[in-house]
């Protein structure tokens, strides 16, 4: 993460501003590591999609695990 920037989705505010100004779909990025973080950012309605880079690089099964976790949480 950039110096002095912490937390999941640290570029979400910038993406949200672009979304409002340009009226186009945007992707929220920055330090999103868990399924819960990604889900919360999406549910906030601030972005249309999230990008999960490092978590996917360290675990190629991250998306499947996230799907299972979130489906279990909503059941």
Q: Is residue 31 part of a domain?
A: yes
Q: Is residue 67 part of a domain?
A: yes
pLDDT per position as a tens digit, 10-22:
999 999 999 999 9
Q: Is residue 3 part of a domain?
A: no
Question: pTM of this prediction?
Answer: 0.85
31: number of Cβ within 10 Å: 19
pLDDT band (50, 70, 90) for residue 70: very high
Q: Is residue 4 part of a domain?
A: no
Instruction: With beta carbons less than 8 A apart as the criterion, state whether 9 and 37 touch.
Output: yes
DSSP alpha helices (H): ranges in the chain? Answer: 12-22, 35-43, 54-58, 62-74
Provide the domain count of the chain. Answer: 1
8/58 Cα distance (integer angstroms): 17
pLDDT per position as a tens digit, 27-54:
999 999 999 999 999 999 999 999 999 9
Q: Is residue 1 part of a domain?
A: no
Number of C-alpha atoms within 13 angstroms, CB side, residue 51? 11
**Structural domain for 41, as ranges:** 12-74
């Amino acid at each position: 993460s950039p110096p002095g920037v912490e937390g999941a989705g640290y570029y979400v505010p910038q993406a949200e501003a672009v979304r409002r100004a340009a009226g186009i779909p945007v992707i929220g990025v920055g330090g999103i590591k868990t399924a819960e973080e990604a889900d919360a950012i999406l549910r906030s309605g601030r972005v249309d999609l999230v990008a999960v880079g490092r978590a996917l690089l360290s675990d190629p099964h991250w998306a499947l695990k996230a799907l299972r976790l979130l489906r279990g949480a909503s059941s």
